[in-house]
Amino acid sequence: MIQYALRKLGCGLQKFTSESYKQITDFVKSAQSGKTLTVPGKIKITKGYDKFFITALSKTSDDIPREIILSVPGKNLFANQLIETEILPGSNLDIKNIKNKKNNFVEWFDLEQIRMPIVARFRRQGDKFIPFGQEKFKKIGKFLTAEKIDINRRKSVFLIEDREKILWLVPIRRSTEAAITAQKRSIMQIKISIRPFKS
């Protein structure tokens, strides 16, 4: 299985000996969640809560934006994901039907409770929000730990917020802020796609 993953990453197996594989399997069996191991070929092994991840180390670019202001309505590319915002007239919406179509990559917010501009950004130390269904603020780092979100998955997490508050920890949990009600008010839909779009 490890050899298959290494081949998929384009890593040559010449540098890997039986001792290398033993080092990996021992690490996976005994390491605590969040620990990492670097092996030949610039390959990183990361231990998760109930699984492990094999990734190729890559160079990071300072050109990657840490945050962007979203066009509303419109399409924006952030963190290699497409973010589509749309304004929907509340008078024509069936809220129960909307909730039935819910998934981790689309959310709806009461537009009247939004304070523009809308921003997508990566996490910063000390960020906190009120997770949907709860009443108190929680630090996002502690929330992710409590939800047992693996370290590799955390790297793809980002925030959507307005001028005053965090609206959504994408794609883990929305906040209680700007939740839609039975009242027929305009709604902002935010949809995330993992595939980049072409302009």
Mind listing the domains of the chain with CATH numbers?
A: 2-56 (no CATH), 67-193 (3.50.40.10)
Q: What is the mean pLDDT of residues 64-72?
A: 87
Residue 7 has pLDDT above 90, yes or no: no
Would you say residue 197 has pLDDT above 50? Answer: no
Over the stretch 148-196, which tens digit does the pLDDT of each residue have?
A: 888 778 888 999 999 999 999 999 999 999 998 766 688 999 999 865 4
pLDDT-based confidence at residue 62 (cuts at 50, 70, 90): low
Instruction: Report the pLDDT value the prediction gives residue 80, as an integer from 0 to 100.
Output: 82
Measured between alpha carbons, how far is 24 from 27 in angstroms, rounded to an integer? 5
**Alpha-carbon dihedral angle through residues 113, 175, 67, 88, given to the nearest 10 degrees:** -50
199/183 Cα distance (integer angstroms): 36
For 74-132, how does the pLDDT look when each residue is reduced to its tens digit (9 = 90+)? 999 888 889 999 998 877 666 666 666 678 899 999 999 999 999 999 999 999 999 99
Contact predicate 83/76, CB 8 Å = yes
Q: Which amino acid is at 167?
A: L
